[in-house]
């Protein structure tokens, strides 16, 4: 509760009853609450207070919600912005989401529990950005120390560089771990893709700095999905409606926006933004094609497709069948040269791993899943390749009580 008291929420609506409803809903949650009956009044409160999250109506006189939130973004870029709207305002909402003015929209009437949960998730993201800023300042101080060091002390320079690189990857892994905590499936997918793309980058003889850059982009390429409702993530793309598809396709842009404020992650953000582009130019968000797409983004696209084909929840393909799909996509969704190199790589990589069956009660932190973990009811919990952590293990035990995991958990055997 102490953390929640540090957060200030601002509610903006010209209808007093709406403001009162929001106040009643969040009063007991321990937040500091501010209210405004107009966009102008809201902007003054933002200037005078450190606001973590804004919930604003769209239909207001004098200044509509889209305009207000756009101005609020300029005053306080890190503040999370929600918009209250009716279904008739969906065009304005979509435009606001695409332009980055709005993090999430809430339809009227809202569900109290859903709204509280959405606010909590958004504030977790706000806290993460704050922590990232602190870490960035620490890294900048370390870089300053490097510049000030005596040029003749090569050993110290090398040691300090190694520490910075370690800090960089520690920072990246924190991001990746946050994604895995939100959804073990997408988190595990990112880590597997990162492992594949690192091997591919080394095979293609890229510069070590480029290898680190591409591996980092692969680790973080799904972080923009944090906060996307789980029911959307669980759907196949062909089953998404227009608005749901817009939310999913906005995630690479959201990720780039998140990383662009961090100097040493700016290039990582560019790679992530382009990883959903297609080689034939029919991808998103910018419709880039062929060499216009960074080589790292083209590599991530191939590794991502292969991992999806071989580890998806249902209808998982054998390696050779997945290879045939990759070949069929050459020149369409993926780069032909990258595909050829990747196929040669995985065919010469030993993929068979021994595994052991461990009872649910005996699984421990650090174990790696050798197979997808499903309940007796057929529910997919976690995909293979995921490294178990205490938070994930607690989730497994909780679900096991309701929907049992009968045969145990297949764990990779350490040789």
- Please write the tens of the pLDDT for every residue from 282-301: 988 888 899 999 998 999 99
Give the whole-angstrom CA distance, residue 263 versus residue 209: 15
Predicted confidence at residue 196, as pLDDT, reads 92
Give the whole-angstrom CA distance, residue 191 versus residue 209: 19
What phi and psi, each to the nearest 5 degrees, are found at residue 211?
Answer: -60, -45
Tokens 């929001």 sit at which residue?
A: 22
Return the closest-CA partner of residue 53 out of 92, 18, 88, 84: 84
DSSP assignment letter at 368: B
Q: Which two tokens stand for residue 144?
A: 């300053």
Nearby residues of 371 by Cβ (< 8 Å), 6 or more positions away: 355, 384, 410
What phi and psi, each to the nearest 5 degrees, are found at residue 270?
Answer: -65, -45
Give the whole-angstrom CA distance, residue 23 versus residue 33: 7
DSSP assignment letter at 334: B
Predicted confidence at residue 10, as pLDDT, reads 95
- CA 168 to centroid of chain Cα atoms: 18
Residue 82: in which H helix or E strand, if any?
Answer: strand 80-85
Predicted confidence at residue 208, as pLDDT, reads 87
CB atoms within 10 A of CB 11: 25
Give the whole-angstrom CA distance, residue 307 versus residue 299: 12
Q: Give the domains, in start order, of the chain with CATH numbers.
A: 2-122 (3.40.50.2300), 149-347 (1.10.3210.10), 355-412 (3.90.105)
Nearby residues of 95 by Cβ (< 8 Å), 6 or more positions away: 66
Assess whether the previous peptide bond of 109 is cis (omega < 30° from 0). Answer: yes
Give the whole-angstrom CA distance, residue 216 versus residue 201: 12
Predicted confidence at residue 136, as pLDDT, reads 81
Residue stretches of the chain with pLDDT short of 50: 1-5, 157, 313-315, 415
Give the whole-angstrom CA distance, residue 9 versus residue 28: 13
Predicted confidence at residue 413, as pLDDT, reads 65
CA distances from 350 to 242, 345, 354, 414 (A): 42, 10, 12, 15
Q: What is the residue-averaged pLDDT of the chain?
A: 81
- Which long-range contacts (C-beta less than 8 Å, at least 24 apart) are formed by 281-289? 283/333, 284/249, 284/252, 285/249, 285/250, 285/252, 285/253
Question: pTM for this structure?
Answer: 0.49
What are the residue ranges of helices labelled H in 36-183? 39-48, 65-75, 90-98, 112-148, 154-182
- Please write the tens of the pLDDT for every residue from 52-107: 999 999 888 889 888 899 899 999 988 999 988 876 667 777 777 776 678 888 88
Partners of 382 in the β-ladder:
373
Which region holds residue 152: left if phi is over 0, alpha if psi is between -120 and 50, else beta? alpha
Return the closest-CA partner of residue 34 out of 371, 43, 177: 43
Give the whole-angstrom CA distance, residue 409 versus residue 330: 37
């Amino acid at each position: 509760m102490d953390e929640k008291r540090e957060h200030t929420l601002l509610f903006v609506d010209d209808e007093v009853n709406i403001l009162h409803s929001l106040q009643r809903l969040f009063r007991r949650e321990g937040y500091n609450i501010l209210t405004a009956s107009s966009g102008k009044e809201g902007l003054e409160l933002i200037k005078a207070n450190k606001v973590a999250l804004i919930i604003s109506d769209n239909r207001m006189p004098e200044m509509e919600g889209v305009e207000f939130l756009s101005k609020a973004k300029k005053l306080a870029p890190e503040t999370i912005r929600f918009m209250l709207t009716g279904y008739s305002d969906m065009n304005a909402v979509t435009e606001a989401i695409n332009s980055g003015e709005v993090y999430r929209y809430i339809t009227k009437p809202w569900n109290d529990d859903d709204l509280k949960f959405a606010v909590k998730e958004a504030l977790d993201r706000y806290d993460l950005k704050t922590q990232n800023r602190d870490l960035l300042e620490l890294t900048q101080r370390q870089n300053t120390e490097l510049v000030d060091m005596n040029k003749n002390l090569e050993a110290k320079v090398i040691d300090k560089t190694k520490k910075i690189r370690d800090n960089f990857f520690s920072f990246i892994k924190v991001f990746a771990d946050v994604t895995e905590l939100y959804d073990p499936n997408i988190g595990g997918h990112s880590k597997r893709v990162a492992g594949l793309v690192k091997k591919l980058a080394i095979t293609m003889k890229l510069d070590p700095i480029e290898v680190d850059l591409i591996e980092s982009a692969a680790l973080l390429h799904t972080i923009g999905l944090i906060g996307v409702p789980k029911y959307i993530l669980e759907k196949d793309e062909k089953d998404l409606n227009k608005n749901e598809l817009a939310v999913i396709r906005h995630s690479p842009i959201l990720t780039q926006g998140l990383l662009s404020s961090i100097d040493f992650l700016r290039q990582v953000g560019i790679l992530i933004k382009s990883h959903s582009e297609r080689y034939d130019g029919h991808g998103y968000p910018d419709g880039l094609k062929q060499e216009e797409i960074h080589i790292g983004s083209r590599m991530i696209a191939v590794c991502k497709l292969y991992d999806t084909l071989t580890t998806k929840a249902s209808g998982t393909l054998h390696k050779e069948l997945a290879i045939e799909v990759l070949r069929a996509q050459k020149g369409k969704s993926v780069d032909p040269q990258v595909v050829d190199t990747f196929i040669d790589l995985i065919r010469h990589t030993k993929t068979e791993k021994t595994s052991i069956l461990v009872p649910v009660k005996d699984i421990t932190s650090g174990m790696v899943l050798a197979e997808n973990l499903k309940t007796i009811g057929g529910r997919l919990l976690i995909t293979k390749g995921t490294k178990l952590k205490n938070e994930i293990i607690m989730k497994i035990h909780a679900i096991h009580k309701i929907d049992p995991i009968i045969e145990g958990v297949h764990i990779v055997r350490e040789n």
